[in-house]
Amino acid sequence: MTCVLFDFDGPLADLFADRPAVRVAETLRQRAQKLGVPAGVLRGVRDPLLVLRKAAWHGATNVIRELQELLADEETQAARSARPTPHADGLVRSLVVSGRQVAVTTNNSARAATVFLKERGLSRFFDQHIHGRAADPTLLKPDPDCLTRAMTSTGTGPAECLMIGDSVSDLEAAGKAGVSFVGYARSPHKMVALRDAGAVHVVGSLEVLADLVRLQNSHPVQCAGSG
């Protein structure tokens, strides 16, 4: 494994820790309705990404573009107060020390991920390998689009990559891309959902992975085969 692909919201940050996602979803719903998306299509939708996906089925290109920009603005504001995932910083740094590449593969905006990583002092490790939501909402995970873009930018293939994600859509995207997967579950509910969806490896803390990489860094010869 020479490249690790991180989902953003979950494995790296709790993006909406201080700016609830349901409030962002409501902002998007209101704007979408003003732009002509039928209210019934979005009634009860509490996930901003699901609002965008549903609106894409009923809105014109200019409507989707405006909603994309609004959501990116909301995510970027949220990123400024997002809570870092425990042990994520250490894991990223240990991976880079080990000579591995890291990339972000997220359904959130690349701008939001970039802002967060810059404030954490991690952006230089990811360089140009932050791959966020495409202009076309149908390419959101579980479509493997952002994973494919990450492999292209890092010059790696599926057999060389591992994805760390916290959702079933991450697991499905990794499967479609042919990439190995480790689930991160910060709650029992997520643990069950990932296990039920077929995830073989799921951790409740990134400390487990950080310790493993640090062990490999300390004993590269003995651990070379554990890749």
Does the structure show a pLDDT above 50 at 223?
no
Structure tokens belonging to residue 168: 């079933």
Q: Which two tokens stand for residue 113?
A: 């991920």
Residue 220 pLDDT:
57
Rounded CA gap, 130 and 152, in Å? 12
Q: Which of 29-38, 87-96, 163-172 has the lowest mean pLDDT?
A: 29-38
Q: Which residues of 147-159 are buried (b: 16+ CB within 10 A; e: fewer)?
A: bbbbbebbebeee
Instruction: Give the mean model confidence (pLDDT) for residues 198-218.
Output: 93
From 53-67, 73-87, 145-159, the region with the lowest mean pLDDT? 53-67
DSSP bridge partners of 162? 4, 180
For the entire predicted model, the pTM comes to 0.93
- Which pLDDT tens digit goes with each residue over 126-142? 999 999 999 999 999 99
Rounded Cα–Cα distance for residues 227 and 206 (Å): 17
Q: How many whole angstroms separate alpha carbon 186 and alpha carbon 208?
A: 13
In angstroms, the CA 148 to CA 18 distance is 31
